[in-house]
Amino acid sequence: MGGRAGPAAGAGVDERRGGRPEGYCHRQTLDAIRYLVDNGVKWAALPADFPPYKRVHAFFTRWRDTGLLTEFHDRMRAAVRTTEGRDPEPTAAVVDSQSVKAAASVHSATRGYDGAKKINGRKRHLVVDTLGLLLMILVTPADAGDRATAEDMLPALKAKFRHLHRIWADSGYTGDLVAWAKTKLALIVEIVKRTDDLSGFRVVPRR
């Protein structure tokens, strides 16, 4: 038969056990994954300049399932923070959410209606550091409440970033969350309100 035998899922062979080294450059594979995410194309639509899409998909699946993609991201965030003169691990963060419309192909069980924004779709709940670098993200139906979702996210956030002690949030997070976070997690949730006497768009500190 034609072709060559190789390990499943394009994983390559561990050089400590002998065998051929991996046949594709990891940098090119990462660039292919970034291209796919940035442009929203199908795997089969990857340009020919990248490794074969089946190999790229196989690497992506392996890296995702073993947590390597998350490790890549965390290492890059720490490197950027260090370059900016910050500690690798943040002590403060900002939490917010954004509702986005969902395509008709999105299953109804995974989307909802955000009455405040009048959007039928999904909601992205994000926690970033003070440089805007991603710490955590959770996607829910758009009708999920910000406070309730934050209660689900903050324990895992605190477990991962042990030095985190302050989080800024908008008025959508007021209520029991502030006292709950202080009592249960030793986290100070500070609500940053808009200034009512200003019209139009204005940048709000820590938002």
Tell the CATH superfamily of the 88-191 domain: Ribonuclease H-like superfamily/Ribonuclease H (3.30.420.10)
Which residue in the block uniquely carries the two structure tokens 């477990």?
Answer: 159
Residue ranges of the domains in the chain? Answer: 22-66, 88-191
Tokens of 87: 């500690």
4, 9, 19, 75, 122 from 135: Cα distances, Å: 42, 29, 39, 12, 20
User: Whose CA is closest to 167, among 110, 207, 121, 108?
Assistant: 207
Tens of pLDDT along 154-173?
999 999 999 999 999 999 99
Tens of pLDDT along 74-108?
999 999 999 999 999 999 999 999 999 988 888 88
Binned at pLDDT 50, 70 and 90, residue 17 comes out as low
In DSSP terms, 137 is beta-bridged to 126
Distance CA 20, CA 17 (A): 10
Interhelix angle 53-65/26-39, rounded to 10 degrees, is 90
